[in-house]
Amino acid sequence: MFGVVPKTLWNKVQPADENNLCSWAMRCLLIEDGEKLILVDNGIGDKQDAKFFSHYYLHGSDTLDSSLAAHGFHRDDITDVLLTHLHFDHCGGSIVRTASGFAPAFRNATYWSHSRHWDWAVNPNDREKASFLRENILPIQESGQLHFVDTHGGFTPGVGASPATISDVILPGMSVRLVEGHTAAMMLPQLSYKDRTLVFVADLLPSIAHFPMAWTMAYDMFPLTSMTEKRAFLDEAAAGGYVFFFEHDPVNECCIPQATEKGVRPGKGFRLGEI
């Protein structure tokens, strides 16, 4: 999770257990706006076999269904599922196993991906193919519920270090920023919430510990690109007072980046409901 950073450094901020494993979250974002109920990512799912799950030591009592129920919703209420990218820990909950095969977990929802990322995932390279599981991906298309964000809304190409953006995705005023370091065309949803800009940072910044430039994941396909994207994004976010929503940080749900003499740092972590 920390690439070339020595364990003597990262273990101070994210301590490993006796098996050299760290705890991480698979936190999703639920957006309610009028008749729209949008789910951003959906975790690892539960349809893989025992051997698969034995590698990941899932723990904790939270589930997607129980989390939805706590807010008065059921998975059938979801109108849209926005998938930042198609690695199994972000999209595994998209599909469930049935007696006759596989089916969408959100039967009333439109699933949103990016066409270039979709092509990247269904024709995977040797490095990433273990993260792109066909049973998570192809049944979405076969269901007829798949749409691509880049065929809707307005497209603004990237300039220099600034990522390309697609505006008015699903909702007016909701956009996605495209970043390329972790995987091709990963989408970071961005919207206005309580007069602030809220960004779901996905795997560009998996946790508060990933703010330093060199602290990038070994999972990143293009680490130097990740560093360039992160530097520009952190500067923009600190200047704009953006709220970051973390998918993988086990403790901190959100933070507001702060400019310091040593670069942009995360500031104090908090829960989104505290805004």
- Let me know: does 232 contact 224? Beta carbons within 8 Å: no
Q: Domain with 228 in it: what CATH number?
A: 3.60.15.10
Confidence of residue 202 (pLDDT cuts 50, 70, 90): very high
Q: How confident is the model at residue 153, as a pLDDT? A: 60
Q: Determine the Cα–Cα distance for residues 85 and 176; give it in Å rounded to an integer.
A: 12
CA dihedral 130, 131, 137, 138 (to 10 degrees): -20
Q: For 20-74, write each residue's pLDDT tens digit.
A: 999 999 999 999 999 999 999 999 999 999 999 999 999 998 999 999 999 999 9
209: Cβ contacts below 8 Å, ≥ 6 apart: 2, 10, 13, 14, 215, 249
2 is a domain residue: no
Q: Determine the Cα–Cα distance for residues 243 and 41; give it in Å rounded to an integer.
A: 18
1 is a domain residue: no
211: Cβ contacts below 8 Å, ≥ 6 apart: 205, 234, 257, 263, 264, 265, 266
Q: How confident is the model at residue 164, as a pLDDT? A: 86
Q: How confident is the model at residue 159, as a pLDDT? A: 52
* DSSP calls for the chain: --TTS-HHHHTTTS---TTS--------EEEEETTEEEEE---S-S-S-HHHHHTT---SS--HHHHHHHTT--GGG--EEE-S---HHHHGGGEEEETTEEEESSTTPEEEE-HHHHHHHHS--TTTTTT--HHHHHHHHHTT-EEEGGGSSEEE---TTSPPEEESSSSTT-EEEEE-SSSTTEEEEEEEETTEEEEE-TTTS-SGGG-STT---TT-S-HHHHHHHHHHHHHHHHHHTPEEE-SS-SS-SEE--EEETTEEE----B-GGG-
127 is a domain residue: yes
Number of domains in the chain: 1
69 is a domain residue: yes
132 is a domain residue: yes
* pLDDT over threshold 80, residue 267: yes
- Least confident piece of the model among 101-115, 160-174, 198-212, 221-235: 160-174
pTM of the full predicted structure?
A: 0.95
29 is a domain residue: yes
Q: Determine the Cα–Cα distance for residues 97 and 154; give it in Å rounded to an integer.
A: 36
Question: What are the tokens at 142?
Answer: 């076969």
120 is a domain residue: yes
Question: What are the tokens at 170?
Answer: 């699903």
188 is a domain residue: yes
Domain membership of residue 55 as a residue range: 7-274
